[in-house]
Structure 1
Amino acid sequence: MSDADQFDHVPAKAGVPRRKRTDEIVDAIKRMIVEHGLGPGDRLPQERDLMAQFAASKGTVREALKSLEVQGLIGVRTGPGGGAFIERMSEGRAMSLLSNFLYAKNISIANIYQMRKSLEPLLAASATPHIDEAGLKRLEALISVYDHEPADAQERWTQRMAELDFHGVVAEYSDNAILAFTCRFLQRLLKDLTIAQDIYVQPEPVRRETGIQHQRDLIAAMRARDTDAAANILSLHMAEAEQHMLDLQAKLEDRFLIDAEKPRRRSAS
């Protein structure tokens, strides 16, 4: 019995609703890609062959291929030599899709830091055995971007982005791809979150001395291959970063309230 036959004869569990045929074919094609070691640029079987393999109509197979295309796993080309080809899913594309899912979920700074406080220490520990001297030098170079007061608004923004990029470099050396992706995604959410962007452009004095010291301590711990110390340092750093961001958010919201009250006071006088 072929893999496709085995797939088609799996009985539905009692009480479990039968899945759409399209979804079943999508999953089967994903398994085919993995089992046959297909990579970017490789072609999937022709549409008529997929129809025969899955005993499905043209419309059902096309719907399954469209679903895979929307997910970024394949690209469909028309004309001579066309067909469905495996695409390389970039991290940026994956993050964009996930960001779109979360767009209307009212994500807050507190939500993001709740995750970062748990995950960033694990990330640092997982990266510590693998980071090389070149990586440590990149971290030191990033600190030099924001270890001084900015000269103008553009430099202020650049500094805040570099502070987040520091943690992105740490993620590059983690041996846990899921953990690294999740932490980089949280860092991207902070860059894209409207309230965070509003905070980043404010000409507020930034208490960065302790944070920078934590980062320098982290570099030293990673250089010494001390995973426990790296995790502990990042735990302190994330807690401090969260409090700092929440304090700045409260100040910004108070300022908005005061500005909103001013026209009312003038109209009442």
Structure 2
Amino acid sequence: MAERGAGAIRNGPRRLNTPTVAEAIASELRARILDGDLTDGAELPTEAVLLEQFPASRPSLREAFRILETEGLLSVRRGKRGGTVISHPTADTAAYHVGLLVHSRGTTLEDLATARHLLEPLCAELAARRRDHVSVGRELGALSAAEAEQLDDGVAFTTRASEFHERLVMAAGNETLQILAGILESIWNTQELSWAQSAVDEGKYPAVKLRRDAVRAHQRISQAIEAGDPDEAVRVTRAHLKATSRYVAAHGGRVRILDDYGGRRHRTS
């Protein structure tokens, strides 16, 4: 009997997965979209043009379109001005799909808040370490001033506060962290805005004094970043998140992807 070597195939020949024609076309178009060769918001070339580039049948080409549409990279526009529009990925599109995952797993809002408490203070720290920390801090300070003008409107105030936190995440200066924390922030903000609307309708939105406390916390975060003090930026951000996220976590129980959230996945800016 021949001795079997370490690299011998034990269970017969390995079956290789060969992509279908549609998958191969989708792969090529996907690469063009992600590499920027196909511009965001532009129309995909017509079927006639693409059939000259890809020796395939119309059904295969249309199946490739469907694959990319499910990935959010293409959207079909119906009617007289119909066409297939290119959509580059955004934090919102990614957040939508991650949101589906956490919703399906029954993730609690408290669990989501804990993850946010870990990532957002890190963003504040990196923002304070940037060379342009002064201008970054001043920009965040201007956003906190805009919040102060909405103290009497709970939903508008929550919207402005969400904008502050989104900008704080983007101020990290590390693109990978911005994407990951931005996805988390987008999911959280959707839950928070839903809570705000319910709290206002039920007369349970936090008192104006607490809203002023939130504005002051945002101002202190901005000042710490402007001063280039990462330790203070982390400390104030962490304390602020702990003080404010409990309202949302206590209200909703679990993360849910809401009807009004779905539309955000098509945003391109």
TM tier, smaller: 0.5 to 0.7
Superposition deviation, residue 113 in structure 1: 0.5
**Are positions 1:108 and 2:105 aligned together?**
no
Relative distance call for 1:174 and 1:47 in structure 2 (3 A) is same
Partner of residue 223, structure 1:
226
Partner of residue 198, structure 1:
198
Partner of residue 25, structure 1:
25
Runs of 5+ consecutive residues of structure 2 not aligned to the other structure: 1-12, 254-269
Structure-to-structure mapping, 1:1-269, within 5 angstroms:
14=14, 22-34=22-34, 37-40=37-40, 41=42, 43=44, 46-52=49-55, 56-74=56-74, 86-89=86-89, 91-96=91-96, 98-99=98-99, 104-128=104-128, 129=130, 135-144=136-145, 150-151=151-152, 155-193=153-191, 194-195=194-195, 197-199=197-199, 202-205=204-207, 207-208=210-211, 211-246=214-249, 249=251
Distance 1:22 1:75 in 2: 17
Distance 1:102 1:243 in 2: 19
C-alpha contact 1:131 1:173 (8 A) present in aligned 2 = no
Normalised by the length of structure 2, the TM-score is: 0.63
Alignment-mate amino acid for residue 243 of structure 2:
E
Superposition deviation, residue 120 in structure 1: 0.4
Supply the RMSD in Å over aligned alpha carbons.
4.3
Distance 1:78 1:160 in 2: 36
Aligned length: 232
What SS is found at the alignment partner of 2:116? helix
What SS is found at the alignment partner of 1:237? helix
Distance 1:108 1:175 in 2: 29
What SS is found at the alignment partner of 2:54? helix
Q: Which has the higher contact order (CA 8 A, sep 6+)?
A: 2
Distance 2:71 2:150 in 1: 43
Superposition deviation, residue 21 in structure 1: 5.1
C-alpha contact 1:25 1:61 (8 A) present in aligned 2 = yes
Distance 1:199 1:62 in 2: 46
Runs of 5+ consecutive residues of structure 1 not aligned to the other structure: 1-12, 253-269
Alignment-mate amino acid for residue 179 of structure 1:
L
C-alpha contact 2:23 2:64 (8 A) present in aligned 1 = yes
